Structure 1
Amino acid sequence: MSKKQIRVQIFADGQISAEVIGVKGKACMDYIELLEQLLDADAIDSTYTSEYYETEQTVLQHRHINTIKNN
């Protein structure tokens, strides 16, 4: 599993650029939404990286436990 990061650049004119790294698929938009809330700002332009078009692989582990009752 890759490390999830938000790379933020703040420019002299007050513009902010943010890049979500290590998040695949549309889930990256959740990070941008959080950043918008924290900064009380709105995204005005988006460019999607190749990670946006990938799917996150999730590994599910299933454990089955048998309980046996003695009569």
Structure 2
Amino acid sequence: MDDDIERLRRILLAMSEVDVEAAEYRELRAQLISELVRMQAEKDLLERLRPIQDQVERIGTRDPDFQLKNFMDAGWK
């Protein structure tokens, strides 16, 4: 999390005297996380995969002569 956002979160919690150990806080936190997960799951699969596909495209085409075993063996030397 961004340092400024984390600092502001701490200030807000301190000023509002929120008890982060309270059951209500933990329940609210769980509900927020659940909602974020639900919203992420609603995204179309292709939309969720697009950032990964973009990274693969930036890497470039696959070398047909690449030998993974030789590459890994060289990493151990």
TM-score (norm 1): 0.28
Higher fraction of helix:
2
Q: Which has the larger radius of gyration?
A: 2
Higher fraction of strand:
1
